[in-house]
Amino acid sequence: MALDLPVYLDNHATTKVDPRVVESMLPYFTVEYGNAASRQHEYGWRGEAAVELARKRVGEVIGAAADEIVFTSGATESINLALKGVAGTHIGRGRHIVTATTEHRAVLDTCQHLERYGFTVTYVQVDRHGLVRAEDVASALTPDTILVSIMTANNEIGTIAPIEEIASVCRNAGVLFHTDATQAVGKIAIDAHRLGVDLLSFSAHKMYGPKGIGALFVRSKQPKVRLETQIDGGGHEHGLRSGTLNVPGIVGFGKAAELATQECERDGERTARLRDKLVEGIKEELDDVSVNGHPARRLPNNASLTFPQTKADTLMMEMKDVAVSSGSACSSASPEPSHVLRAIGLSDADVLASLRFGLGRFTTEDEIDFGVRRVVETVKRVRSRRMAMSA
Ligand SMILES: *Cc1c(COP(=O)(O)O)cnc(C)c1O
């Protein structure tokens, strides 16, 4: 069977939009183009009904009620709203925030912004598997702490944090807890209320939905979380995020969420099996390959591998028919060595010799076989050239 080349193994950067999602969106460009805020005619009413159905489904995929979902343009905006929003409403109570060194840039850069406005931030270290320990979060808390933000699953190494334990530490201390669950929703089962989180960010394009649409879960009771609005004008989304709603995007997100609710478990089992096949296939043929991240607490679709005696950039250049990433693809606008791989103790040389493989719903067995062959032959070639040069 002919493969679509390059083989796409970069599902942490973004995912293909599921054809069923595309189909659900199309009418909202062509016939159902009403503004969901138009209260005076059918077009508006139908737009609003579609948005509210999607809101219910997007809530369901994380175990939340529809009225706890605020639609945004993506996880970056959700994270900004969560962190700056809590900072704004709690500034009179305290000015200290706790997060981790391995967070996504959306969290780290927002924290840096708040530091310029008088907040202090503690960056908790992780262990060599990238795990944040709840005890370390507990000891970072001060009477001045207003918010903790720890990601559910890491976008580079796939490590899954002990969210329930961290949430309970926060709850006991009366501190709000936000989690960036962008890589987790649709990949592993997530229930915001059972986990005990107060705020949770996620994004459609990481779960087979369209780009440019995301959501923030805002707990509605025990406690009801209050946020300072970041985008004013018109009072949409309970006044938390003004602007005409992206109806087609929201409908697509709703469909993607519905599919994730139904297929997450099956997708997870399938991608984990293929991921294991990829890693084992590579390790069988190559000496000296290490797997980054936690051996057990990890996303089913992630493999972060280090190939000493190579450079990831060279590998990628010499296997252009396999789409993977080195370092963090999300910040590939600024190609610095990954702060995540550094945080788990890799040397600079090992960081620069690491590739991230991200599998997804559409990854096939043939693609994995092809990927293994390409990686193995490319690493062997690059290593033997290096040996010849140093001989
Ligand atoms: C992709 C990603 C983001 C940013 O999401 P956008 O919707 O692209 O803004 C944030 N956090 C994590 C962990 C991500 O993987």
Q: Which residue has the tokens 């693809």?
A: 329
Give a yes or no: residue 1 inside a domain. no
Mean pLDDT of the chain: 96
Question: Pocket residues for ligand 1 (CB within 6 Å)?
Answer: 74-76, 104, 106, 151, 155, 180, 182-183, 203, 205-206, 214, 330
3-class DSSP state of 304: strand
Chain segment 95-106, per-residue pLDDT in tens: 999 999 999 999
| CA 154 / ligand 1 centre spacing (Å) | 10
Statement: residue 1 has pLDDT above 90: no
Statement: residue 349 has pLDDT above 60: yes
Whether 123 contacts 102, CB under 8 Å? no
Q: Which two tokens stand for residue 64?
A: 């939340």
Q: Which two tokens stand for residue 108?
A: 């780290």
- Same domain for 163 and 217, yes or no, is yes
Statement: residue 124 has pLDDT above 90: yes
Average pLDDT over residues 374-386: 97
- Same domain for 110 and 173, yes or no, is yes
Q: CA 258, CA 260: separation in Å to the nearest integer?
A: 5
- Same domain for 165 and 211, yes or no, is yes
Whether 330 sits among the annotated catalytic residues: the reply is: yes
| CA 26 / ligand 1 centre spacing (Å) | 25
Statement: residue 144 has pLDDT above 70: yes
Q: How many domains does the chain have?
A: 2
| CA 102 / ligand 1 centre spacing (Å) | 13
pLDDT band at 238 (very low <50, low <70, confident <90, very high): very high
Average pLDDT over residues 163-187: 98
Average pLDDT over residues 113-138: 98
Chain segment 68-100, per-residue pLDDT in tens: 999 999 999 999 999 999 999 999 999 999 999
Domain end (from 258, 278, 312): 258
Query: Cβ-count burial of 165 within 10 angstroms (0-12 exposed, 13-18 middle, 19+ buried)?
Result: middle
| CA 75 / ligand 1 centre spacing (Å) | 5
Gyration radius (Cα) of the chain, Å: 22
pLDDT band at 112 (very low <50, low <70, confident <90, very high): very high
Report the half-sphere exposure of 224 (CA within 13 A, side-chain side): 3
Chain segment 293-313, per-residue pLDDT in tens: 999 999 999 999 999 999 999
E strand or H helix that includes residue 61 = none
Given the CA of residue 14, which atom of ligand 1 is nearest to it? 1
Domain end (from 237, 258, 279): 258
Q: What percent of the chain has pLDDT over 70?
A: 97
Give a yes or no: residue 74 inside a domain. yes
- Same domain for 198 and 171, yes or no, is yes
E strand or H helix that includes residue 357 = strand 354-358
pLDDT band at 387 (very low <50, low <70, confident <90, very high): confident
Which structural domain, as residue segments, surrounds residue 30?
19-258
CATH of the domain at 268: 3.90.1150.10
CATH of the domain at 150: 3.40.640.10
Give a yes or no: residue 2 inside a domain. no
- Same domain for 252 and 335, yes or no, is no
Q: CA 273, CA 382: separation in Å to the nearest integer?
A: 28
Given the CA of residue 78, which atom of ligand 1 is nearest to it? 9
Give a yes or no: residue 29 inside a domain. yes
Among the listed residues 255, 216, 264, 204, the one whose alpha carbon sits nearest the alpha carbon of residue 51: 255
Domain end (from 202, 232, 258): 258
Statement: residue 328 has pLDDT above 50: no
Query: Cβ-count burial of 119 within 10 angstroms (0-12 exposed, 13-18 middle, 19+ buried)?
Result: buried
Q: Which residue owns the Cα nearest ligand 1 atom 9? A: 76
Average pLDDT over residues 191-220: 98
- Same domain for 26 and 68, yes or no, is yes
Q: CA 96, CA 102: separation in Å to the nearest integer?
A: 18
Given the CA of residue 74, which atom of ligand 1 is nearest to it? 7
Statement: residue 2 has pLDDT above 90: no
Statement: residue 248 has pLDDT above 80: yes
DSSP-derived pairing of the beta strands 290-292 and 322-323 = unpaired
Residue-level pLDDT at 330 = 45
Statement: residue 329 has pLDDT above 70: no
Residue-level pLDDT at 189 = 98
- Same domain for 240 and 313, yes or no, is no
- Same domain for 86 and 184, yes or no, is yes
- Same domain for 174 and 247, yes or no, is yes
Average pLDDT over residues 13-32: 98
Residue-level pLDDT at 359 = 98
